[in-house]
Every structure is written in C-alpha cells, then in structure tokens.
Amino acid sequence: MEFTARQIAEILDGEITGDPNARVSGLSKIEEGETHTLSFLANPKYAPHLYSTRASIVIVSKEFEPERSVPETCTLIRVENAYESFAKLLELYNHMLHAKTGIHEKSHIEATASVGADVLVSAGVYIGENVQIGKGTKIYPNVTVGDNVRIGEGCILFPGVVIYHDCVIGDHCTLHAGVVIGSDGFGFAPNQNNQFNKVAQIGNVIIADHVEIGAGTTIDRATLGSTRIHKGVKLDNLIQVAHNVEIGENTVIAAQAGIAGSTKIGNNCMIGGQVGIVGHLKIGNRVKIAAQSGIASDLPDDAIVQGSPAFAVGDYKRSYVMFRKLPELQQQIRELEEQIATLKKDLPT
C-alpha cells in the first residue's frame, strides 16, 4: 500500500518540507534508506545519515535544523516528537498487516464453538468444543485451541500457538509463534518405591487484557485454581512460567527467565534475562532483578537486586569490585607472608 507525504503529514499533524506528493510503500532505517521508503530521525547520532539517505520521506522533530542540504529526493515531515510519530505509523502499519479476515476451508471449527465477527482463522487451525473467540481476533496457521477456551477481542495468535482446554485469554493479547498456554504443571509425587506418580493438573491459565507473550514461552496450568498473568504483562521469548504462578500488572520479563511454581510477582516489576526464581516466593511491587540473578527468598517492594543468590544491587557492585581485586589481594598476602617469614628468621631465638 502506498502513502503520500501529504497523507502521512495529516495522520501525524506534521509540516512538510519538500514534495507533498512524494510516495512511500515501505519502511527503512535512515542509514539503510531506499527509494519509496519512509524513515525517521530521532537520535542526533544518526543525523549524518540524513544527508546521504535514499529514503523518500523522513520524519524529524520540528526543532531539527539540518547542518547542510538534504537530498532533493528526500521530503521531511516535521512533528512534535519524531520517535513517537514513527511508532504511531508502525502501529498503523502493523494493523494493516493483520487486516485480513475469513475462515479458511482447511481449518476445523467444532460445531459448538462461537467465532465473532471479522475473525481470521487460517489453514490448519483446530478450534475445539465450546470455544469462544471474540471479534477481530486473528488466528494464524496451525494453531490449536482446546475445548472450553475463551479468547477475547482483537487478539493475535501467531503460527503454532497451542492453548490447552479451559484456559482464558483476555482482549488485545498477542501470542507469538510456538507459545504454549496451559500445559501440565510439573507435579509428581514419589511413592514408597521411589517412583514418581503424576499429580493431575486440573486448573487452568487466565491471561488478562493487553498481554504479549514471546515466541516459545510456556505457561503451565495450575494444579488447582489458576495460573494468572495480569493486565499489561509483557513476556519475552523462551520463558517458563510454572503452575499457580501469578504475575502482576505491567510487569516485564526478559528472555530465558524461569519462575517456579506458586510464586507471586507484584505489579510493575522488571526482571532481566536468565533470571531463576524458586517456588512459593512473594516478589513485591516495582522490584527490579538484574539478568542471570537467582532469587531464593522473598523480595520487598522496590527492591533492586543482582547476583546468585541475589542481594542488594549496590552491595553486589561493591562486592564485585572486591572480587575483581582478589588476584591482586592474593599476591599482596603472599608478599606479606614472605616478609613475615623473613622477619621471624631475624628475630633472636
């Protein structure tokens, strides 16, 4: 789809410097700009690329003043905030990418399922008994939706997503490729012969509105009750969320983190990549956990921790400075030992 500079300026309430009829049909980074693409300049570090870019339209902030001539083939659109305006266009472009609707003939929807208006159901999709799917939801190829699942409005399920029976997905959620929702929790009990018998996992997973879950992430169903992901949570790729875990509103977790069973994480937390959290803990609100940390005890509100086992980030940094000096300190100790040994020899017996 093509847009003119005039149309883009109207969307962004921007001012045009250059050709209002300049046309673009794609997006690009300013340093890799090509003809008929749209780019933006928000970071002054990238300003030199503006004077050689081949992009047809570049969004800049109103206060930006070029140091030299911009290529004649480049039209500028001046806005209040270049980054926010470009993000707005990206969201519009993303919405257009998912505008397709309809039910593919090679999908299978059980007769008792309910599918809302303007839904996309792609080839290879299976939708089970008594499933409810809200209007505007997009389901891409080879997705499996188990019996009694409820999916809200405006969701996107990318290829290969699997949602087990009885789980609930809120409105405007995005599940990337390979996400598994509602697989069994890791529940086994040893018997008298030291063999492990499976404990039935009969709960479910409840995901609230505006949650995004990265590719390959798995969220286990509860043993009893529900594993809960609250509103606005953002999970990166390859995260393991175990049974009966609860993650509070607007918490973000980076890739390869693992959260063991029944741990409760508060609101507005930031958890780095490869963090491991043991089970049955309570993590407070607004907690920040640095990457690769190991959490083995409860954390209060506003804690900032690092390390394995983790402790206060300021103490960790001071300890790390000392740790890096250990070889030097060891050498000093050896020299002191040698000096003491020499002094002992010189002492009268």
List active site positions. Answer: 243
d(CA 184, CA 344): 69
| 118 neighbors 137 (Cβ within 8 angstroms) | no
CB crowding 240-276: b at 16 or more within 10 Å, else e:
bbbbbbbbbbbbbbbbbbebbbbbbbbbbbebbbebb
- Are the CB atoms for 235 and 254 separated by under 8 Å? no
Provide the residue type at 252 as one letter: V
Order of strands, edge to edge, in the sheet holding 264-265?
114-115, 132-133, 150-151, 168-169, 204-207, 226-229, 246-247, 264-265, 282-283
Nearest C-alpha neighbor of 40 from the set 81, 97, 72: 81
> Which of the 8 DSSP states describes residue 302?
T
Do 185 and 244 form a contact (C-beta atoms < 8 A)? yes
Instruction: Enter the tokens of residue 202.
Output: 């009969």
- The pair phi, psi for residue 18, each rounded to 5°, is 125, -145
Nearest Cα residue to 244 out of 255, 259, 258: 259
Residues 190, 194: Cα–Cα separation, whole Å: 5
